[in-house]
């Protein structure tokens, strides 16, 4: 067997092992999970998530997911906690401890300190009989039979299981809060993801030039208007209402068919009833309309009147595509 086949087989084996472990997690979800979700949902405080080693990395990710979906959360490294960071925990906070074995030295020192402050504690562990499991108020079982690591040492399958349980927690809380796409946009105002949720067509078209001609505009003037406004298109309007569109492609097709266009006007080559979109529509809707109709520009309307152009390049520039 050549090396490429070995690599591919190892990758497939790792994926299969981890997918089976995740599938098995469903059978480990008990009333403790539901009660833990309700505890967090009703809490007046924050969620403090702690762990050490690879579990600390997973804790950071769960914190990020909770924060972005409406549940305030803070990461506290288990080693730092016993050297001063315990001050992060306030009386109404809920603490989540993540540990595969539940028996690490740091956890054994940390857990009694959390308990003495009367904070409710949720354990994410693969060993329900461990020190952590026995001390926790609620246990989220992430037991896995074997790590994907061939030596059964490096945290692989176990950290994947922890991550999935964290996602399940976040999604349950998201649904309880009725967290909508509009709420999501508030927490993600930057980047392409945020823009897909809040950017509207008007935000883009309003900064573009507004090419327009009338039905009786000469072809020469149409060419000048399209060239000057640099959007590859012009609207054909009548009383500020859209009656047609002329694109670069329409001009090329005209030139291939006629030798003398001096007598032609916009109405002779325009496409009537062009695709258009409302100014207050979402930019992502404009993208879908362009993709579905294999076009690069859309005319924009506001209150039934011509309001401008949105180009596919605008959407690319904004990161929508």
Q: Is 7 helix (H, G, I), strand (E, B) or coil?
A: helix
206: tokens are: 């309003």
Q: How many other CB atoms are found less than 10 A from the CB of residue 136? A: 26
User: Is 77 part of any known ligand binding site?
Assistant: yes
Residue pair 71/59 in contact by the 8 Å Cβ criterion: no
Q: Is 205 helix (H, G, I), strand (E, B) or coil?
A: helix
Q: CA 180 to CA 187: how far, in whole Å?
A: 11
Cβ-proximal residues to 157 (8 Å cutoff; 6+ apart), any chain = 17, 18, 21, 144, 146, 147, 148
Binding residues, by number, are: 77
Binding residues for Zn(2+), by number, are: 77
């Amino acid at each position: 067997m050549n090396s490429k086949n070995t690599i591919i087989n190892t990758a497939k084996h790792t994926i299969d092992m981890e997918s089976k472990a995740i599938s098995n997690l469903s059978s480990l979800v008990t009333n403790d999970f539901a009660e833990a979700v309700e505890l967090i949902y009703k809490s007046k405080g924050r969620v403090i998530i702690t762990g050490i080693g690879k579990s600390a990395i997973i804790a950071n990710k769960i914190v990020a997911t909770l924060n972005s979906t409406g549940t305030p959360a803070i990461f506290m490294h288990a080693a730092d906690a016993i050297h001063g960071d315990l001050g992060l925990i306030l009386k109404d906070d809920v603490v989540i401890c993540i540990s595969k074995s539940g028996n690490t030295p740091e956890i054994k020192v940390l857990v009694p300190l959390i308990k003495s402050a009367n904070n409710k504690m949720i354990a994410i562990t693969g060993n329900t009989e461990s020190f952590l499991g026995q001390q926790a108020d609620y246990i989220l079982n992430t037991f896995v039979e074997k790590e994907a690591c061939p030596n059964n040492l490096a945290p692989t399958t176990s950290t994947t299981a922890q991550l999935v349980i964290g996602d399940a927690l976040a999604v349950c809380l998201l649904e309880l809060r009725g967290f909508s796409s509009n709420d999501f946009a508030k927490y993600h105002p930057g980047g392409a993801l945020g823009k897909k949720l809040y950017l509207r067509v008007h935000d883009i078209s309003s900064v573009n030039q507004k090419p327009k001609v009338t039905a009786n505009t000469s072809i020469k003037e149409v060419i000048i208007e399209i060239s000057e406004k640099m959007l590859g298109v012009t609207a054909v309007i009548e009383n500020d209402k859209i009656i047609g569109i002329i694109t670069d492609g329409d001009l090329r097709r005209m030139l291939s068919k006629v030798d003398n266009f001096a007598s032609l006007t916009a109405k002779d080559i325009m496409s009537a009833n062009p695709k258009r979109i409302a100014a207050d529509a979402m930019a992502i809707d404009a993208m879908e309309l362009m993709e579905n109709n294999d076009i690069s520009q859309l005319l924009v309307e506001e209150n039934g009147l011509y309001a401008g152009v949105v180009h596919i390049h605008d959407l690319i520039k904004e990161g929508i595509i």
